Structure 1
Amino acid sequence: MSVEAKNLTFSYEKETVLRDLSIRVPEGEITVFIGANGCGKSTLLRTMARLIQPEKGAVLLSGKSISELKTKEIAKQLSILPQGPTAPEGLTVEQLVKQGRYPHQSWLKQWSPEDETMVENAMEAAAVTSFRNTPVDDLSGGQRQRAWIAMTLAQGADTLLLDEPTTYLDMAHQIDVLDLLHELNEQEGSTIVMVLHDINLACRYADHLVAMQGKSVFAQGRPEDIVTNDMVKQVFHMNCHIAADPIFDTPMVIPYGKGRKPYGAIAAAEAE
């Protein structure tokens, strides 16, 4: 299933948030949106999920405008995990994950063995089976995020949209969640689109990077092709040095701000 945004424009309280923005999400890959605060990353993701309606342009699912599709039909193709989701008090992990099967329910089609299998497979994939009967509120931040990801997996959609899935998590739990998403992409072929703040983690996990600036797309492509000193300066308003990640060989951004100057080997290299 292909996902494409064409010429999107959206304003909030008379302020333009997206302006004539177009992207095409590569199928079966991990796409990450990066950019400074307020550049429209989350708005773009929410527009792609039809949570908000653009003033102009369209989001296309396999060539069909998302505005013309029924909500349940969209939910069978796209699942979204918003920022800071909250569950009703006392809801267990298994009960939460079962909510992902709602788009597949109707008066004629009630809970089925297929639904049960999807829930079990989702909990196993997200490694939350061992605390299935634990209230969501009692989980650690990383466990809670895994439970919500399991719910999106139970939905059975080919494409997962995640808005800052690592927010409020410590480094160990951030890596834990991103490794899980990477495994889902590798093993299940899921198309994953997410917003991340950490540019180095974005470079490490993304197949396709979308850098946003000025309410539109500044650059998009593979991290090694688009992450440059100029891109970081234009998008994040920050001076930096670009090195290779010593473990993964992906671009690694080493910032030194506006006032502080680099020294040693980096200073010598930038003086050449």
Structure 2
Amino acid sequence: MDAMETKSLTLAYGESIIIEELDLQIPKGEITVFIGGNGCGKSTLLRSLARLLKPKDGSVLLEGEAISKQSTKEIARQLAILPQGPVAPEGLSVLQLVKQGRYPYQTWLKQWSEQDEQIVWDALRATGMEQFAERPVDSLSGGQRQRAWIAMTLAQETDIILLDEPTTYLDLTHQIEILDLLFELNEKEQRTIVMVLHDLNLACRYAHHIVAIRDKKIYAQGKPEDVISCDLVRNVFDMNCQVTTDPLFGTPLCIPHGRGRCIVPQVST
């Protein structure tokens, strides 16, 4: 069974259709990355998967059941979302932030427990944020802050994690650190991870499954090596490029070259 899927999903802001009659499957236990040009609907689609945006038509299924029929806490125990550029209240410590991830498990009968405490500290250790537990979130660097928010999503203990551009505003070193961390979570714990990424080469390097969006629909989807091509980059991003192979990871590597024709690499004999 897929972790999530959509059926004839149509999303809109007012009368403006953003996504139209989309049928999408999110493979369970894999990393799926949404790619596409600015304004194509990637983030809108991600928000809909998290039930933050009500569909104009169609449905989103979580483990085979429509999310519209599930309670907010039921959904929060199954999936976590990290929006783009989240902001913590001024003075909130990293520890206090990460503890928010346990909210879906708190009830009048079940208050904070030793198990909750252990899960929070496990999340801090997993993200390398244990030493910053008492630091205010707003005093951290961009990479540290992003790790703190990811720690909060880990404390939520969901099988599915949705992230909207988790590397935005980070330098290359911190981008790789964050993506390596998410890759390890997937490898070690089989978490299903769904991300929106702008960097096509990083998307190819880390994704098991890529979904390219264009003109309100899925243009192509599948393994990076099966779908990434000069034609896809030209049609989805309106950019010509050369597609070769990443020498370190064997994944597609896109080299943009402006307005010229799409160059096919020559193979020496």
TM-score category (smaller protein): over 0.9
| Deviation at residue 267 of structure 1 after TM alignment | 6.9
Secondary structure of the residue that 1:197 maps to in structure 2?
Answer: coil
Secondary structure of the residue that 1:161 maps to in structure 2?
Answer: strand
The sequence identity of aligned pairs, in percent, is 61
Mapped pair 1:229 → 2:230? yes
Change in CA separation of 1:50 and 1:268 when aligned onto 2, cut-off 3 Å: closer
Distance 1:131 1:211 in 2: 37
Distance 1:268 1:17 in 2: 36
| Deviation at residue 5 of structure 1 after TM alignment | 1.2
Secondary structure of the residue that 1:90 maps to in structure 2?
Answer: coil
Secondary structure of the residue that 1:115 maps to in structure 2?
Answer: helix
| Deviation at residue 201 of structure 1 after TM alignment | 0.2
Q: What letter matches 1:199 in structure 2?
A: L
Alignment match, 2:205: 204
Mapped pair 1:162 → 2:174? no
Alignment match, 1:15: 16
Distance 1:22 1:42 in 2: 16
Alignment match, 1:59: 60
Q: What letter matches 1:54 in structure 2?
A: P
Distance 2:62 2:108 in 1: 27
Alignment match, 1:244: 245
Alignment match, 1:213: 214
**Unaligned stretches of 5+ residues in structure 1:** none
Q: What letter matches 2:74 in structure 1?
A: E
| Deviation at residue 13 of structure 1 after TM alignment | 2.8
Alignment match, 2:131: 130
Q: What letter matches 1:65 in structure 2?
A: A
Secondary structure of the residue that 1:243 maps to in structure 2?
Answer: strand
Q: What letter matches 1:100 in structure 2?
A: G
Alignment match, 1:37: 38
| Deviation at residue 46 of structure 1 after TM alignment | 0.2
Q: Following superposition, which runs of at least 4 residues in structure 1 exceed 2 angstroms of deviation? A: 266-270
**Unaligned stretches of 5+ residues in structure 2:** none
TM-score under structure 2 length normalisation: 0.96
TM-score under structure 1 length normalisation: 0.95
| CA RMSD of superposed structures (Å) | 1.4
Secondary structure of the residue that 1:242 maps to in structure 2?
Answer: strand
Instruction: Report the number of matched residues.
Output: 266
Q: What letter matches 2:247 in structure 1?
A: P
